[in-house]
Chain A
């Protein structure tokens, strides 16, 4: 019965993620791509995303700390971040990236910094949420259940 509860919790949790727009259907597609050939595909991609995003965020922080900001560079980074976040369905990160790029185009340093903050926030949010989700899945798997779809 504990397992059932866990499973329901996972379903609800996922639903809430979609509902809060943390994730979108791209993530669903990602999950569908996971099968016996790639059993840990989602985790793999998501951790790739984490690594990539952290790298990009650091780069962005550095780039924005410079005296003369290379907005092209910043824009490229944000574009990458936007691309990767959209491919895992981290909708909110993606959306804040869009705002970020607008500021980049305007060469608005303050706007960029604020957006970086925002992106960082959204990123950490999606990270915690996803990590919690994986944790739940792990729990279910370890107690012998299957992950409800």
Chain B
């Protein structure tokens, strides 16, 4: 029965079988079975197996595996289905995209072309319409006037009256006829058979008056008005015909303008010249239209006929006919075709040609006179064929809508577009007149008409553009890929050159050459790096990382780096960051630094003397208005610009508030050669330099600023050159960076005011001094400035020997008065601490005078604290001497806020310590300070580094291992103990690296700074010569190994069959102080463990020291694949055996499978951790430590 067999389908839990539950479960089984079968199209095997199991009642275990299998299948199939669906979706998307890009343009172009053609056809039709309209208007007017005139002479009784009537009619008709030049003829035929007509011959510009002989006609009609309509007409018609036959017609030429008679009237055969609209044309008493021909014109004529009723509106007294030539329609068509190629023709509904764009005749002469020509018989080949084609295609039945539009109609071997429009001339604005004149217009456009050409051109343009974009993209990608490949050999070349330069055997010439090669290679490498950056940005590969970084510190490091170059150039580098800049920002630190590195290096290139200032402030109106930190000469233009920028900034701010973003403004201000205003925009283009001739003197590729702008723009900022007073360039940019939530608050500055500190800045660089003193005063620290030695001595004298104030020697200084007042205010301070920051450059180092100067300063050492600003190349002798004299506060150029803060804090702390302990032991305080301002060592290091890199040498050896260690350090930081080990190692390493320096090393501090350095080490020379790398690594780990035996006292069982690995692992572990027992396979491992367990004495030994049982080994390293018994089995056995012991020996798997499934297997059998072969030394140690620590 079903309830005894375990449920086989997946998903249904084995519910306790109850009588009620059974059918339910069956249903469940059925459903889930169905579901799985549905899900697994591909899994009949699994299903079969499931059924099989159900039937045979397999064991639980097997059931589980089957269950597993089927669920695997279903999951697999589900994944497959999802993937297939995804693929279909993607394909669909692609097709849609293609469709929309390609089909849509084509379609819109087609619509455009169609619209154009339609427009073209509309014009002749409109003209036609216009002609019809004017004809009908004229006819109506003529009829109305005739009615009026005839009514006036309604009952002509005498011949004279009759003649007067006709004369009246003639004048009136002439007036109408003359006003419409397009009219061919106006005719009036009276009831009595008399005819009056005006005719204009457009060909030879003659105008005629045609009339019939009056004599034959009775004066008055004999019909009474009471007669019936029908009879009346009958009689009238007869009479008319009679009159027609017998009458003599005269024609007299007229002056076309005045209507004066110009020639003699000549008799002509009736009806010969023109069509006189007779009563036959108004059969129902309504208007009629027809197309007529005349032998005097070669174009068809459109004539309208309208009856004139008598006053009682019952009888027709005359018929008015108006004839218009369709000549002008053809003219228009010709004009159209001249502009746009093709053929246009107009036919009547019956197929008669009315107008064409060609010169083919529209009329044909037959024996019965001139007749209209059918379109299918046209002499023009194309029109004929087009008409034939249309007839063949549609016969006489035109499609609904009456619009035919055919592409690629084959006419005589050529392709044409055919468009046909059908114009129904039904409703002419005539009173109660319904005109049914249907005109069909056909257009045949040549296959390559102008708009087609345009269209093709447009498409090809689009294609070309797409291709160009693609190729540009390829180029960028190619460069992005290739630059990397190019850099590697370049790095090798440079590395080899370095080795070569180190060779002692080179002659001077060779040395010079090699140096030159190296310079060139570096330049080439720099170019490659730039191109790589640029192409990365262009190909969209550049992704900014979002990480928190200390902006201030990054920039300080940068300025430190560049100040070395600046010192060489006799240029002062100043970093001036306002206090409101958040300490931590989020963004891509490397890219931010790159921006400033490029800008500063650019400035350095073009600045030979003066200063380079990197200013930074936060987007904040308050700060904007507070331009106190800027020097007075720059104040005005800056504030003016700021208002402009503020406008923009406000906008940004709105957006930024939402994203917790801040706008940081920066300026790079130099006193270099400057950029011509016309080039302010173009310097940011690639390969563009302000002055091409500078390439020779300054080098460079012109890519630097381009990269900067691209990066800035990518960071949501802008950069531009702004106007500056005085020489040099001022580049201003802003960046949009995110701040961490708490990052916006300003880091707590120490309240220096209450510590009553005063600073005397005896510094060379005027800009840096000015900025620093302003900053100090803003923070409540009075600052005095001195730019040279004598000034310093004067200030010191003023301060401490007030009685010598009046001595003549302070008269030499113009600043005497303000200085003195400052000094006075300082002397008012209660128990002040003076800090004198002395630039080493103030001392006369060229001779031995500096020692005397030092001695002089020593006199004040009790009352003031001296801090020294060193150059990066300050000789050791000077440093030692300073240290010997007890001057321990030293910073390296350039001075910026952080360094000043360090000095201040150090002094204040020392003072506090002194006050607290009352210990006069200066030494102790000294060492304390030394620690406090230890970051100054970092500065020393960094500038040394840059120096090294300048000289082009051992940077690679220095840089790489440091990076490596820091990385490994952060990776291993999860165990504090380990971290400490790493730190000490690091320290020792750095110690050796910096062995030539006499600085005291405090490792933890150094670690911090090193860390920071590594973050910002984006120096372009990051290539590593492999040998150097290895060597560096080497020195590091061997030192690390000797550093500390972190595994001291651990007993480790190593089960490993490969002798090599066994040996290596053993040595590794032993080096760390562990005791290693190595065995060859899993069986031996289990045996070794059991052996130890039974070894009573050992156990007793351990029991003596500890109360609880201790495992015989602290840890087992277990290879997974071993002969006899593999690691998994062995682990299982060990776990089983230790079940009763109350301990848990950590087992670490060693495996060559680097897959997570293996890891899962390892952990499943009871292993604690997992190491992949080849064994990574550090990782192994950290793993072991973390495990043993936990178990201990």
Asked if B1033 and A25 sit within 8 Å, CB to CB, the answer is yes
Annotate A10-52 by CB proximity to B: 1 below 8 A, 0 otherwise: 0110110011000001101111110100100100110011011
Which residue of A18, A49, A52, A80 has the most chain B CB atoms within 10 A of its CB atom? Answer: A80
Asked if A88 and B1060 sit within 8 Å, CB to CB, the answer is yes
Asked if B1041 and A33 sit within 8 Å, CB to CB, the answer is yes
Q: Note all chain A residues with C-beta closer than 8 A to B499.
A: 8
Other-chain residue from B1031, B1119, B1123, B1177 in contact with A29 (beta carbon distance below 8 A): B1177
Q: Note all chain B residues with C-beta closer than 8 A to A51.
A: 1059
Other-chain residue from A19, A33, A83 in contact with B1058 (beta carbon distance below 8 A): A83
Q: A29-B1177, A45-B1064, A84-B1060 are in contact. Are A11 and B1027 (CB under 8 A)?
A: yes
Other-chain residue from A15, A32, A79 in contact with B1037 (beta carbon distance below 8 A): A32
Q: A11-B1027, A149-B1035 are in contact. Are A84 and B1059 (CB under 8 A)?
A: yes
Q: Does residue B1063 face the partner (Cβ distance < 8 Å to A)?
A: yes
Q: Note all chain B residues with C-beta closer than 8 A to A29.
A: 1037, 1177
Q: A41-B1067, A76-B1121, A80-B1057 are in contact. Are A86 and B1152 (CB under 8 A)?
A: yes
A-B contact count (CB 8 A): 93
Asked if B1058 and A84 sit within 8 Å, CB to CB, the answer is yes
Q: A15-B1030, A28-B1034, A32-B1034 are in contact. Are A44 and B1063 (CB under 8 A)?
A: yes
Other-chain residue from A15, A32, A88 in contact with B1038 (beta carbon distance below 8 A): A32
Asked if B1173 and A87 sit within 8 Å, CB to CB, the answer is yes
Annotate B1022-1037 by CB proximity to A: 1 below 8 A, 0 otherwise: 0001110011011101
Q: Note all chain B residues with C-beta closer than 8 A to A87.
A: 1058, 1060-1061, 1064-1065, 1173-1175
Asked if A35 and B1035 sit within 8 Å, CB to CB, the answer is no
Asked if A33 and B1067 sit within 8 Å, CB to CB, the answer is yes
Chain B residue at minimal CB-CB distance from A97: B1152
Chain B residue at minimal CB-CB distance from A83: B1058
Chain A residue at minimal CB-CB distance from B1036: A32
Asked if B1034 and A31 sit within 8 Å, CB to CB, the answer is yes
Q: Give A28 to B1177 CA distance when docked, in angstroms.
A: 11
Q: Give A12 to B1028 CA distance when docked, in angstroms.
A: 10
Other-chain residue from A44, A82, A89 in contact with B1152 (beta carbon distance below 8 A): A82
Chain B residue at minimal CB-CB distance from A79: B1121
Q: Note all chain B residues with C-beta closer than 8 A to A82.
A: 1152
Q: Give A52 to B1060 CA distance when docked, in angstroms.
A: 8
Q: Does residue B1071 face the partner (Cβ distance < 8 Å to A)?
A: yes
Annotate B1149-1176 by CB proximity to A: 1 below 8 A, 0 otherwise: 0001000000000000000000001110
Interface positions, chain B 1030-1062, Cβ under 8 Å from A, are: 1030-1031, 1033-1035, 1037-1038, 1041-1042, 1057-1061
Other-chain residue from B1025, B1026, B1033, B1174 in contact with A86 (beta carbon distance below 8 A): B1174
- B1055 shortest CB reach to chain A, Å: 13
Asked if B1063 and A45 sit within 8 Å, CB to CB, the answer is yes
Q: Note all chain B residues with C-beta closer than 8 A to A45.
A: 1060, 1063-1064, 1067
Q: Note all chain B residues with C-beta closer than 8 A to A149.
A: 1031, 1034-1035, 1038
Q: Note all chain A residues with C-beta closer than 8 A to B374.
A: none
Interface positions, chain A 78-118, Cβ under 8 Å from B, are: 79-80, 82-84, 86-89
- B867 shortest CB reach to chain A, Å: 41
Chain B residue at minimal CB-CB distance from A80: B1058
Asked if A35 and B1121 sit within 8 Å, CB to CB, the answer is no
Q: A29-B1177, A83-B1061, A88-B1064 are in contact. Are A18 and B1026 (CB under 8 A)?
A: yes
Q: Give A102 to B391 CA distance when docked, in angstroms.
A: 75
- B93 shortest CB reach to chain A, Å: 36
Q: Give A14 to B1026 CA distance when docked, in angstroms.
A: 10
Q: Note all chain B residues with C-beta closer than 8 A to A88.
A: 1060, 1064
Asked if B1030 and A14 sit within 8 Å, CB to CB, the answer is yes
Q: Give A36 to B658 CA distance when docked, in angstroms.
A: 64
Chain A residue at minimal CB-CB distance from B1119: A83
Q: Interface residues of A, CB < 8 Å — how many?
A: 36
Asked if B1173 and A83 sit within 8 Å, CB to CB, the answer is yes
Asked if B1061 and A33 sit within 8 Å, CB to CB, the answer is no
Chain A residue at minimal CB-CB distance from B505: A1
Q: Note all chain A residues with C-beta closer than 8 A to B1123.
A: 76
Chain B residue at minimal CB-CB distance from A41: B1067
Q: Does residue B1068 face the partner (Cβ distance < 8 Å to A)?
A: yes
Asked if B1067 and A89 sit within 8 Å, CB to CB, the answer is no
Asked if B1027 and A14 sit within 8 Å, CB to CB, the answer is yes
Asked if A28 and B1033 sit within 8 Å, CB to CB, the answer is yes
Q: A11-B1027, A38-B1067, A48-B1059 are in contact. Are A83 and B1152 (CB under 8 A)?
A: yes
Q: Note all chain A residues with C-beta closer than 8 A to B1173.
A: 83, 86-87
Q: A18-B1026, A83-B1058 are in contact. Are A35 and B1038 (CB under 8 A)?
A: yes
Chain B residue at minimal CB-CB distance from A23: B1030
Q: Give A49 to B1059 CA distance when docked, in angstroms.
A: 7
Chain A residue at minimal CB-CB distance from B1068: A33
Other-chain residue from B1026, B1033, B1037, B1119 in contact with A19 (beta carbon distance below 8 A): B1026
Q: Note all chain A residues with C-beta closer than 8 A to B1031.
A: 11, 148-149
Q: A15-B1027, A18-B1026, A86-B1174 are in contact. Are A79 and B1152 (CB under 8 A)?
A: yes
Q: Give A33 to B1040 CA distance when docked, in angstroms.
A: 11
Which residue of A8, A44, A49 has the most chain B CB atoms within 10 A of its CB atom? Answer: A49
Q: Give A53 to B1042 CA distance when docked, in angstroms.
A: 32
Asked if A26 and B1174 sit within 8 Å, CB to CB, the answer is yes
Q: Note all chain A residues with C-beta closer than 8 A to B1071.
A: 33, 35
Chain B residue at minimal CB-CB distance from A81: B1058
Q: Note all chain B residues with C-beta closer than 8 A to A44.
A: 1063
Which residue of A29, A48, A76 has the most chain B CB atoms within 10 A of its CB atom? Answer: A29
Q: Note all chain A residues with C-beta closer than 8 A to B1042.
A: 35
Q: A15-B1030, A18-B1026, A79-B1121 are in contact. Are A84 and B1037 (CB under 8 A)?
A: no
Other-chain residue from B1035, B1057, B1059, B1064 in contact with A30 (beta carbon distance below 8 A): B1064
Chain A residue at minimal CB-CB distance from B1025: A15
- B504 shortest CB reach to chain A, Å: 9
Q: Give A26 to B1172 CA distance when docked, in angstroms.
A: 13
Q: A18-B1030, A84-B1058 are in contact. Are A48 and B1152 (CB under 8 A)?
A: no
Q: Note all chain B residues with C-beta closer than 8 A to A28.
A: 1030, 1033-1034, 1037
- B243 shortest CB reach to chain A, Å: 116
Asked if A89 and B1026 sit within 8 Å, CB to CB, the answer is no
Q: Give A33 to B1175 CA distance when docked, in angstroms.
A: 13
- A21 shortest CB reach to chain B, Å: 11
- A91 shortest CB reach to chain B, Å: 10
Which residue of B1061, B1071, B1121 has the most chain A CB atoms within 10 A of its CB atom? Answer: B1061
Chain A residue at minimal CB-CB distance from B1035: A149
Q: A80-B1058, A83-B1058 are in contact. Are A89 and B1030 (CB under 8 A)?
A: no
Which residue of A12, A26, A33, A48 has the most chain B CB atoms within 10 A of its CB atom? Answer: A33
Q: Note all chain A residues with C-beta closer than 8 A to B1030.
A: 14-15, 18, 25, 28
Chain A residue at minimal CB-CB distance from B1031: A149
Chain B residue at minimal CB-CB distance from A82: B1152
Q: What are 26 A-B contacts defined by CB distance under 8 Å?
A: A14-B1030, A15-B1026, A28-B1033, A31-B1034, A32-B1037, A32-B1038, A33-B1064, A35-B1038, A45-B1060, A45-B1067, A48-B1059, A48-B1063, A76-B1121, A76-B1123, A79-B1121, A80-B1121, A83-B1121, A83-B1173, A84-B1060, A86-B1173, A86-B1174, A87-B1058, A87-B1061, A88-B1064, A149-B1034, A149-B1035
**Extra 7 A-B pairs, beta carbons < 8 Å, given A52-B1058, A84-B1061:** A12-B1027, A25-B1033, A26-B1174, A32-B1041, A51-B1059, A76-B1123, A79-B1121
Task: Give A residues with C-beta under 8 Å from B.
Answer: 8, 11-12, 14-15, 18-19, 25-26, 28-33, 35, 38, 41, 44-45, 48-49, 51-52, 76, 79-80, 82-84, 86-89, 148-149
Task: Give B residues with C-beta under 8 Å from A.
Answer: 499, 1025-1027, 1030-1031, 1033-1035, 1037-1038, 1041-1042, 1057-1061, 1063-1065, 1067-1068, 1071, 1119, 1121, 1123, 1152, 1173-1175, 1177
- Give the 8 A-B CB pairs with smallest separation, nearest first: A15-B1027, A84-B1060, A86-B1174, A87-B1061, A32-B1037, A26-B1174, A49-B1060, A84-B1058
